[in-house]
Every structure is written in C-alpha cells, then in structure tokens.
Amino acid sequence: MNVLHIDSGILGDHSVSRRLTAALVTQIKADRPDAKVTYRDLVSERLPHLTGAQIMAPADLNGVDPALASDIRVGRQMLEEFLAADTIVVGAPMYNFSIPSQLKAWIDRLAVAGKTFRYTEAGPEGLAKGKRVIVASTRGGHYSAGPASAMDHQESYLRTIFGFFGITDVEFVRAEGLNLGADQKQFAIAEAEKTIAEGNVLRLAS
C-alpha cells in the first residue's frame, strides 16, 4: 500500500492541519504497517508556480535550460508519486476562502492530460480512478452549514479537482471555527482527533 502525505499549512508547529495529517498517517501505519509513506512538505520544498515554459518544454529535457529542466523533473516526480499512491492524505487549511497557493501549485503539476484526465467525445474522463483521498480541512470560521457554506472554495474545490481526476472517494476530516476562541479551537481539534482515533478513517485506509 502506497500512502502520499501532503502538508501545505504555512504555520509550522502551530498548524492544525499538519497535526491532523500526522495523526491520520500514524493511524494508517498502525493499521497497515506495510504501508509505504511518501511525504511532501509543500511549504519547505517551495514548488514554483506553473509556467508556460514548463508546459511548452519538450518531453525529452536534454538541451532544456538546466533550471527549467530541474523544475519540470520535480513536477514529474510529484505526478508519479500521486499516480503511485493508493491513499493520499492532504493537509488543506482554508486561506482566503480557498486553498494555500502551495497546494494549488502542487495540483497544477498533477493536472496533466493523458495522466490524470483526458478529454473524450463524451467529455472529460478522470484517469486516476480507484484512489482514496483524505483531506484534513481546517478553517478559522464555520462553513459546513448555513449561508457561509457558499463561501467555501476550499473543500468544494478539492472535491471538484480530485473528482476531475476520477477520484470519487474523497473524505474530509474537519476542524473549523479555529479562530473563534480558545474553547472552540480546542473543541474542534478534539472532535477531529476523535474522528481519526475512532477508526472512521481506518476504513478508508484498509
């Protein structure tokens, strides 16, 4: 079993999503000691934004500018890791109603025609079927119910893009209201950790 563990929160040791992805991966490893975990910290690795030069570069990188070639190789490696994974654990805080730009930069390297999707006469088809995605979703406010749910471009986007890649098994472990006071923060984290500890996510990892 291959697990891909992705973190994108910029708050280091203060990051709740990092704490939750670590708990998820620990739980998965306890359930499946044979699991091979690949870890990417998208903040410390500083993956550059997608550029036209990357897209227009030839498949054979011999002769391509060394800095550009190196950048493309990192992106290709990330795509291969994604394609090789059975379960992908993603730490995704809500930033400005959406996802961190670091996480978007990673997704931009995954969205490659012929690898994760293709267009057919019947419309787009996802090519990364059969994977499981578990997202540790953190938010300062509340968006899972009520009028503010229309402002959620974080979970809705992640469900859309992974669905576009053909992944229908997308689960969210959520801690929200994290900026609404110490009590609410503690409560939200405890609830998310309880969800993980109760094994609801182990079902996904089995």
- Residues in contact with ligand FMN by CB under 6 A are 9, 11, 15-17, 93-97, 138-141, 178-179
- Report in angstroms how near the CB of residue 142 gets to ligand FMN at its nearest: 8
Residue 15 counted as an annotated binding residue = yes
Residue 17 counted as an annotated binding residue = yes
Nearer to ligand FMN, 75 or 100 (CB): 100
Query: Which 3 state secondary structure label does DSSP give 113?
Result: strand
Nearer to ligand FMN, 72 or 89 (CB): 89
Residue 96 counted as an annotated binding residue = yes
Residue 141 counted as an annotated binding residue = yes
- Report in angstroms how near the CB of residue 132 gets to ligand FMN at its nearest: 21
Residue 151 counted as an annotated binding residue = no
- Report in angstroms how near the CB of residue 165 gets to ligand FMN at its nearest: 23
Nearer to ligand FMN, 116 or 137 (CB): 137
DSSP state of 122: T
Nearer to ligand FMN, 32 or 153 (CB): 153
- Report in angstroms how near the CB of residue 172 gets to ligand FMN at its nearest: 13
Residues making up the binding site for FMN? 15-17, 94-97, 138-141
Residues making up the binding site? 15-17, 94-97, 138-141
